[in-house]
């Protein structure tokens, strides 16, 4: 059995004084998943590190402290308000940073596709029995392995950022670590995504998007009929549709069983006007594709892809603002929040570089983003007690790279 030893624990604060005060969160920040999402980056050892391995932690801490100056919300804390609402307290309490060492080797993880409980020891854990205002929004764990390789485990609050905003921070942190200046300033004014007062115009929102996902027959019999013609499917829709159909086949549902697939859509370029470059917060939300198990299995892959395309296409500017205003007018947001422990679900984002294997001339690394480690290169189901299939993907997100630690640690 692998042994993990903790070598140090720190609270990293911004390198310079930052603005302090309370910042309102948007409706999207306060709904869906509001717990922490883990990511692990694995780095195999090169022939020699450009900086001694025992100095990597110090360099990461120093560059993290500087990164928290422009990204100061991550050094704050979230606190609860009435009605299930949340507020961001920019108090510069800091980011948790842990150093650990393992007697195992990276090769023991194989190709990183098999599930292992050991992955959970490589990311910082959050004690959700504590009040939410005591939890850091970002926690980092640097683990060194017996082979000389390292892993960087990151756990970030989904109540403050979505995947693209988190990746924006990671990229800028990496750049600062190798001596570069900030490339894209974070846009921190979340009021651009807050609903008007009073709500403007009639709502085009399909409120069924906020209903519970289908239950087993006998518990729910709401079956929607959809026979619309759709455009040609793209790769994402075909891949997600394939996984959806396979899950229905594997579970051997009856043909009448309702099933739903939840798709995470990035709204940054769909909203009018588009969100400012570097918007730092949640700007992605879920839409639901519905069908029955029988339809999905019998009508082929094109049918499943068309259901997904319909759900994505309806995310227009009007639909986005209707969604925001609908949430604003709820007296209590608790029923729209996902409070599960991160270990209870499986999420994988393959439209970003978080889930790709990347090789460099001197070093290779794997990056895994999953709440139940690890799977890669395909959408995965999010399993619950009900038979629905839930695949979280951002079809409009862009590809990025998080440079290897040998670049981080070349601070001058």
Dump pLDDT digits (tens) for 192-238.
987 654 344 444 445 445 444 444 444 444 444 344 444 445 788 89
Q: For the domain with range 4-194+351-375+400-408, which CATH number is right: 3.40.50.620, 1.20.1250.20, 3.40.309.10, 3.30.559.10? A: 3.30.559.10
- Give the chain's mean pLDDT: 76
Q: What residues contact 383, with CB distance under 8 A and at least 6 apart?
A: 345, 346
More confident residue, 308 or 286: 308
pLDDT computed for residue 143 by the predictor: 95
pTM: 0.75
Compute how many other C-beta atoms are within 10 angstroms of the C-beta atom of residue 335.
10
pLDDT computed for residue 194 by the predictor: 77
Report residue 138's pLDDT band, with 50, 70 and 90 as the boundaries.
very high
- Give the strand pairing for 138-144 and 95-102: parallel
Compute how many other C-beta atoms are within 10 angstroms of the C-beta atom of residue 120.
16
Dump pLDDT digits (tens) for 369-407.
433 333 222 222 222 223 333 333 333 332 222 233 332
- The tally of CA atoms less than 13 A away on the side-chain side of residue 113 is 7
Q: Are 263 and 308 in contact (CB under 8 A)?
A: yes
What is the DSSP code (8-state) at residue 302?
H
Same fold, 4-194+351-375+400-408 and 207-328: yes
Dump pLDDT digits (tens) for 69-78.
999 999 999 9
**What is the dihedral sign for C-alpha 38, 95, 398, 23?**
positive
More confident residue, 286 or 130: 130
Alpha-carbon Rg for the chain, nearest whole angstrom, is: 22
Which of 4-18, 71-85, 345-359 is predicted with the least confidence, judged by mean pLDDT? 345-359
pLDDT computed for residue 54 by the predictor: 76
Token duo for residue 385:
């007690």
List the CATH code of the domain at 207-328.
Answer: 3.30.559.10
Query: What burial class does residue 380 get, using C-beta atoms within 10 Å of its C-beta: 0-12 exposed, 13-18 middle, 19+ buried?
Result: buried
Distance between CA atoms of residues 165 and 347, nearest Å: 17
Domain boundaries, the chain: 4-194+351-375+400-408, 207-328
Tell me how far CA of residue 58 lies from CA of 8, 53, 54, 172, 245, in angstroms: 11, 10, 8, 17, 48
Helical axes 301-313 vs 235-251, angle rounded to 10°: 120
Nearest 5°: the CA angle 285, 68, 403 is 75
- The tally of CA atoms less than 13 A away on the side-chain side of residue 398 is 8
Report residue 338's pLDDT band, with 50, 70 and 90 as the boundaries.
confident
Q: What end-to-end distance do the CA atoms of the chain give, in Å?
A: 40
Q: Are 35 and 128 in contact (CB under 8 A)?
A: yes
Report residue 80's pLDDT band, with 50, 70 and 90 as the boundaries.
very high
């Amino acid at each position: 059995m692998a042994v993990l030893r903790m070598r140090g624990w720190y609270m990293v604060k911004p390198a310079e004084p930052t603005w302090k005060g309370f910042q309102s969160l948007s409706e999207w920040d306060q709904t869906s998943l509001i717990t922490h999402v883990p990511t692990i980056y694995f780095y195999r050892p090169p022939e020699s590190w450009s900086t001694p391995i025992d100095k990597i932690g110090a360099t990461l801490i120093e560059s993290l402290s500087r990164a928290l100056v422009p990204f100061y919300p991550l050094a704050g804390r979230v606190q609860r308000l009435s009605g299930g609402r949340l507020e961001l307290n920019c108090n510069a309490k800091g980011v948790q940073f842990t150093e650990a060492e393992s007697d195992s080797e990276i090769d023991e993880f194989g190709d990183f596709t098999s599930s292992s409980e050991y992955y959970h020891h490589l990311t910082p854990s959050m004690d959700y029995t504590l009040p939410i205002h005591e939890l850091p929004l970002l926690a980092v764990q640097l683990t060194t392995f017996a082979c000389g390789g390292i892993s960087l485990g990151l756990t970030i609050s989904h109540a403050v950022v979505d995947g693209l905003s988190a990746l924006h921070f990671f990229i800028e942190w990496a750049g600062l670590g190798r001596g570069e200046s900030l490339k894209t300033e974070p846009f921190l004014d979340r009021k651009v995504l807050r609903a008007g007062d009073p709500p403007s115009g009639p709502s085009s929102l399909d409120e069924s998007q906020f209903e519970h996902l289908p239950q087993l027959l006998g518990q729910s019999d709401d079956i929607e009929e959809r026979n619309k013609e759709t455009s040609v499917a793209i790769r994402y829709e075909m891949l997600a549709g394939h996984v959806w159909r396979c899950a229905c086949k594997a579970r051997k549902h009856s043909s009448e069983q309702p099933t739903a697939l939840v798709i995470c859509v990035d709204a940054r370029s769909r909203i009018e006007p588009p969100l400012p470059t570097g918007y730092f917060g949640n700007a992605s939300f879920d839409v639901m594709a519905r069908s029955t198990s029988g339809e999905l299995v019998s009508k082929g892959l094109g049918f499943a892809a068309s259901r997904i395309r319909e759900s994505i296409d309806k995310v227009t500017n009007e639909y986005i603002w209707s969604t925001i205003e609908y949430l604003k007018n709820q007296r209590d947001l608790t029923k729209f929040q996902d409070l599960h422990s991160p270990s209870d679900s499986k999420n994988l984002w393959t439209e970003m570089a978080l889930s790709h294997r990347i090789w460099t001339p001197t070093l290779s690394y794997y990056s895994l983003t999953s709440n139940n480690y690890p799977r890669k290169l395909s959408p995965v189901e999010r399993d619950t007690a009900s038979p629905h299939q839930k695949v979280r993907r951002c079809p409009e997100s862009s590809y990025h790279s998080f440079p290897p630690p040998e670049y981080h640690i070349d601070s001058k």
